[in-house]
Each structure stands twice: as structure tokens, then as C-alpha cells.
Chains A and B, each alone.
Chain A
Amino acid sequence: MNPVLYLAQRGTAAILGFAVTIHLATMIYATRSGLTAGDIFVRTKDNWWFLSFYALFVLAAAIHAPIGLRSVLREWTSWHGRSLDIAMIGFSTLLVVLGLRAAFAVFLA
């Protein structure tokens, strides 16, 4: 792992620590206060704060997870080299596409 990847993983970990806490707290509040799916969509539709928060969340996860997974695979399997790096870029892209697609779906619902 080079210094830039190391810094990117630690920096995104800090963002994720904050984002996961907000996400879980909001989930617990929404489910325990009796809100229906319709009530939630009313609050999230066209809500730029919602979209910005989850876009940041998705991008941080898409940077953080592949760097960590790359280290795990390097240490626990014999998979090294360029093919692993390309696979992790693909995994990151998949997280970005699926995550932003989900965030936009709720934003536009």
C-alpha cells in the first residue's frame, strides 16, 4: 500500500465513522417513531441534504472498502499484482454505481 492509498483509507474511515453514526441514528429514529415508507419518502424527495450526505457516504465507502479488501486478499490469498488492482477498481466502481443509484432513487421517489 502506498502512502496515498493509506491516507485515503484513513481519511475515508473518519468520514464513515461520522456517516454510519448519522445513518444508524436516523434509521432507528425513523423506524421507532412510526413513520411509514411514504412518510420517509416525503422527507427525502428533492432533499439535497439527503442526497449530499448519502453521495458522500457512498464515495467514502467506495474508496475505503476496496483498499481494505485489497490488503485482506493480499495477506490471505496468493492473489497479487495488477489483476488484483484492476479488480479492486472494478469493485469500487460497482459500489459507486449501486450506491449512487440507490441514493438517487430515494431522492427522486
Chain B
Amino acid sequence: MTAETSKPGVAAAAEALTVRVWRGAESGAFQSFQIRLRANQTVLDVVTEIQREQDATLSYRFACRVGMCGSCAMVVNGRPRWTCRTRAAAVAEADVLTLEPLRNLPIVKDLAVDMEPFFEKWRKAHGYFEPGEDAAKDFALVSPDEPGRREADAGVECINCGVCYSACDVVSWNPDYLGPAALNRAWTLVNDVRDQGQDARLDAVSGDAGCHSCHSHMSCTEFCPKTLGPTFAIAGLKRATIGRALRRKG
């Protein structure tokens, strides 16, 4: 190995790698595969090679392969990651990769989870634009410098990969908790001046499943592959809901 290839993330060609892959559903076991790690191979490349070369029954999910679609997230050596943008050499520990499906979601098979509960919570958090009755009457003039626009911009690049949801302790304790992604999406809409559904949205993100249950552990912010800050979005929702509650009392 040269000095150059010993850098993290830059793999020497043809290194041996042991890949432990979760097989089964909620009950199952790890199956080990041996591969020759190629230079700059991503974790998704590793899974694809195993499926194509060694075991065609291995199930996993991917689409774009370039960090846009949010389909390929898995737990890699204990940490949820987007596997298409994660180099295997950078995260292998002692030449071992352990791959598991995302946590906090039902396992369909092997590395594929059912994302339906994740997206159902987006709906419950009113994570969709509400145009109101007279939406098309005029254009909204929104300056890029407006504080609300800046808040929305900070969270709007979420790709729905489920990494934050998998990392969230509160979801693991309270399966009803809406989770960081849905709350982050709700916060971007709270800051959208065109949206007409704010009261219903703020009601939806309050309560025992909502933003006030967040412990601010910041796992979502730590693991988000897009380096968003759902913790800060949730803090914004706490301020917005409390402000509204105080105005109602006043």
C-alpha cells in the first residue's frame, strides 16, 4: 500500500474485505461474504457486487447511486449512512463491514425496510403544502434574505433517506413519535408564507408524538448525510407552538 492509498476513503485495489450482511427479516442472522475491495468502491458497490457475484437472493434498495434519491440508506458498522456516497475503505473496521437494515422501520427482507411508516408520519405532520382556497390569485414575493426563507432553505434539501429516523432514540422509545424528517419538513412549511394550513400543522406537530418529545440528542443532525439540522428545525417548531399557545392565552 502506498502512502496515497492509505488515506481514509482511498482504497488500495484488491484488499480483502469481510462483509457481514443481515439476512432475514425481524428475525434472522448475519451472513459473511468475502470480497476483494476495489479502489474507491462505495458500500453500495460492495452490496451490489455481493448480489451479482455471490448471492442473487440478497435484497436491498437503491435507485440513483449519486446521493439524490435517498433509497440506499443502511446501518454500516453501527451507524446509519447513505451507502452510495460512503466509501467502503473509509468505514471498514479491521477490514470488516457489518451491514444492517435501517433501525426503527419494519424489515421487509435483508437490507430493505418498509418506508411506509416513515412517510405516513410526513402526512401526520402535515408535511405537505396547503395552498388554501385562494392560492392562485397572486404571486407571493419572497426575498431570499427573509428570515423565514432562510429557515426553509436550511431544511428543504432533505432527500427522505430515513437516516435521521433510524438514528433517533425517541422513535425507538415512542413508535408514535413523528421523527426528525417529518418535523423538519413541517418546519420548512411553517416558514412558507404561501402556506395556508399553519394552525392545523402546528396542532399536528404538538402532542405526545410531536416536537416537544424531542430530547435534543442531536443524533439526526449528527448523522444526516445532507448535513441538515433537524434538531434546530424541531427547536423552531417548539418556539412556534409555544408562541401560538401564549397568544391564545393572552
Contact = CB atoms under 8 A, between A and B. Distances in A.
Whether chains A and B associate is yes
Interface of A: 1-7, 71, 74-76, 80
A67 to B, nearest CB: 10
Interface residues of B, number: 15
Nearest to A75: B173
Contacts of B238: 3, 6
15 contacts: A1-B207, A1-B212, A1-B213, A3-B206, A3-B212, A3-B238, A3-B242, A3-B245, A4-B245, A5-B212, A7-B242, A7-B246, A71-B213, A74-B174, A74-B208
Contact of A75 (B174, B206, B244): B174
Interface of B: 170, 173-174, 206-208, 210, 212-213, 238, 241-242, 244-246
A3 to B, nearest CB: 4
B250 to A, nearest CB: 13
Contacts, number: 33
Contacts of B174: 74-75
Contacts of A5: 212
A4 B207 CA distance: 10
Cβ-closest 4 pairs across A and B: A75-B173, A3-B245, A6-B212, A1-B212
